[in-house]
Structure 1
Amino acid sequence: MGGRVGLKGTDGEEALREALRRGAKPWSPIRAREFLRHLGEEGRSARWLTWSGEMGEELLREVGYSFEVVGYASKPTTAEDTKRAARRMAEMGVSLIVFAGGDGTACDIVEAIDMETPILGIPAGVKMFSAVFPPTPRAAAQLLIKYLRGETQIVEREVMDVDEDAYRAGRLTAVLKGYAKTPYAPNLLLGGKETVMAVDEELMKESIAARVVEMMRPGVNYILGPGSTVAKVAELLGVDKTLLGIDVVRDGKLIVRDASEEDLLRVVEEAETWIVVSPLGGQGSLLGRGNQPISPRILRRVGLDHIIVIATPNKLRGLEALTVDTGDPDLDEALRGYRRVITGYHEERVMRIR
């Protein structure tokens, strides 16, 4: 609930107090209500067990579902309430635990029940790097509908968390906390009557670009890699970018067009620099193919924590991991692991790099 007041999450009592001091409002009920609205009549076919008050009871009563309260929350609610609820529901043999929150909540549930019961996250946190969250509450509802119809697989996925203090300071350190079982449906559409490909793809690119431009700071260089997704960033800035080349912007202006490695070496020495890249669709190549001017020398000088990866959900669909092939085995090894990918306006997912 800390995102809108400038915090990078509210894990821990101190961060929660600061969020409340700044006037933050709980985000989970809003997202859960949206999820239930999209679930609609389909949700009535399920038997709902829930925790008291704001941990499910109030919203289920609001939408008119039949439910049973199986435990009672403290006031204010804490992580221990989440763990107790998860343990109780697992003991009762529920088929699926649906929760609203972010990575902290997912970690609490996994800590409580391990992989005993499948879970499905309604995305409502600032940090959602775990692979148990569909991109939106609507997508979560569509996935649950498919689950209720027997149209999903149950798969094992990573549950991640980050050091929030480091995250607030602009450093991402994603840590694998465990694994969870979760429903999976390939090529999940967010709505039955939407035109998905051309229109939605462009809208997603625009939302990604808006987020990247929002992140830009004065006096900082931004190396823009090739491709139409990154080109949307330049378009939003009013900059005429090369579609297949490497360009550099600073303070909203183009300072190098179609840059070579030497051009990039020069600008990297002039000011703090970030790299914005998008993987190749269909193969997931992130570095080393199509963007060779962003060489190992450039990457080392810029710093591996100064890389912004962007991609539409369609581009990531079906990819188990992204790949790097910079020509420097040591650098490739350093790049491997988990990295956040901006997939929309304040929407992200974590992808493995191999």
Structure 2
Amino acid sequence: MTNKLQRKFRLGLIVNPLAGLGGTVGLKGSDGQDTAELALQKGAKPLANERIKIALKEVSDYYQNLEVFTVSGDMGESTCNALGIPCHIVHSPVVNHNGATSFEDTESAARIMSELNLDLLLFAGGDGTARNICASVDNTTVLGVPAGCKIHSGVYAITPKAAGRIVKMLVAGELVSLTDADVMDIDETLFRQGIVKAKRYGELQIPAELRYVQNVKMGGKESDELVLQDIAAHVIEEMEEDELYVMGSGSTVAFIMEELGCDNTLLGVDVLLDQQVVASDVTAAQLLDIVAGKRAKLVITLIGGQGHIFGRGNQQLSPQLIKEIGRDNIIVVATKTKLQALEGRPLIADTGDVELDKMLSGPITVVTGYHDQVIYPVGYEEL
């Protein structure tokens, strides 16, 4: 009797190597060749391949069970080579003079892979990449590894490590249900003007592991102005002289700035000293220079419906900056309504530095009103 070889898990892999470039240098996105090239000129470092490596390392015990189909160069092949994973090249991108690829390469590769009877198409990018995948595949299960500045779509895992855990479950043969999730994106031009205008572009089938897959972002400003006034009053009262305050993005932080009478970059990061703006819409590098050796606090809020406090729309807050400021000097502000909407799920720190994410985990104080605070957990994917 002849033994039949067990079929390997057929994994498609597409990396958008330009994803997230604009975040650390304050461009609030990286859609389009011009923006990506500008980000590189400003010193941005590509991180998408590093994030896909974090995901795939979770599956290291099962590499021999994988049959990987990917794109040449930095769109997948280089990551496979770095991890020692054999792969089939199904598409070779046309690169420009700077070696950059384009969205057409993502779409071409996805179309080819949709015909390969994949068990899962794993991709790294942001909402623009999700749109490209959505426009190109049919009846293919996908999962996104978050690597972009904008992550409004519900097709992404909450972190790269969480994505890897889902892949591991699938490769190991665990029972995982499937569901449809919305693909959302915003207009980057309006985004840079402080206007969030999101649009639904379709849906994709994803693994329904809700512990590891993020919700679609909640849009719009907090409606309860009185609660925001209370939060602002508490933070302003606690502000100390001769201490820098790094003000993160988001509408709750923006309300504090409004109460101070300060101009605010809604979707960027500003710095205050003695309740006056001393730097606006700063980059990651500028922030490090500003706070180096000085007393500083960091005021942040969470993304409604998702719970991220780092790694979504505030990549200017680099791991180096967070370490420089210190966990004890992080002020998290949020309404109780936002916290209740998480339905018990922890806050998420996805800084790109695994050890820092672990250090940030555990109970943290959240300002929810005037002299009103609650203790809420920051998770470390031990879910």
**Which category describes the TM-score, using the shorter chain as reference length?**
0.5 to 0.7
Identity %: 29
1:107, 1:159 within 8 Å by CA — same for their partners in 2? yes
Match for 1:160 among 173, 177, 184?
A: 184
Counterpart for residue 316 of structure 1: 342
Counterpart for residue 11 of structure 1: 31
Matched, 1:118 2:144: no
Moved over 6 A (4+): 267-274, 276-280, 307-314
Matched, 1:100 2:133: no
SS of equivalent residue, structure 2 residue 148: coil
Letter in 2 for 1:8: K
1:10, 1:19 within 8 Å by CA — same for their partners in 2? yes
1:49, 1:70 within 8 Å by CA — same for their partners in 2? yes
Counterpart for residue 25 of structure 1: 45
Flag the 1:22–1:135 CA change in 2: closer, same or farther, 3 A: same
2:25, 2:39 within 8 Å by CA — same for their partners in 1? yes
SS of equivalent residue, structure 2 residue 169: helix
Letter in 2 for 1:144: V
Flag the 1:271–1:29 CA change in 2: closer, same or farther, 3 A: closer
1:120, 1:183 within 8 Å by CA — same for their partners in 2? yes
Count of aligned pairs between the two proteins = 240
1:153, 1:183 within 8 Å by CA — same for their partners in 2? yes
1:312, 1:343 within 8 Å by CA — same for their partners in 2? no
Q: CA deviation at 1:239?
A: 3.0
Q: CA deviation at 1:97?
A: 0.8
2:33, 2:102 within 8 Å by CA — same for their partners in 1? no
Map Cα deviations across residues 214-253 of structure 1 (whole Å, 9 max, x no partner): xxxxxxxx975599xx79x967x7839xxxxxxxxxx97x
Counterpart for residue 35 of structure 1: 55
Matched, 1:143 2:169: no
2:120, 2:140 within 8 Å by CA — same for their partners in 1? yes
Match for 1:87 among 108, 111, 121?
A: 111
Q: CA deviation at 1:150?
A: 3.0
Flag the 1:69–1:8 CA change in 2: closer, same or farther, 3 A: same
Aligned CA-pair RMSD: 4.1
Flag the 1:21–1:223 CA change in 2: closer, same or farther, 3 A: farther
Structure with bigger RCO (C-alpha 8 Å, 6+ apart): 2
Counterpart for residue 89 of structure 2: 69
SS of equivalent residue, structure 2 residue 135: helix
SS of equivalent residue, structure 1 residue 33: helix
> TM-score if structure 1 supplies the norm length?
0.57
Mark the runs of 5 or more structure 1 residues left unpaired by the alignment.
Answer: 190-221, 241-250, 253-263, 281-306, 320-341, 348-354
Mark the runs of 5 or more structure 2 residues left unpaired by the alignment.
Answer: 1-20, 214-224, 246-254, 267-300, 306-332, 353-383
Flag the 1:49–1:309 CA change in 2: closer, same or farther, 3 A: farther
2:227, 2:335 within 8 Å by CA — same for their partners in 1? no
> TM-score if structure 2 supplies the norm length?
0.53
Letter in 1 for 2:29: G
2:185, 2:200 within 8 Å by CA — same for their partners in 1? yes
In 1, the alpha carbon distance for the partners of 2:63 and 2:229 equals 44
SS of equivalent residue, structure 2 residue 145: strand
Q: CA deviation at 1:43?
A: 3.9
Counterpart for residue 289 of structure 2: none
2:127, 2:153 within 8 Å by CA — same for their partners in 1? yes
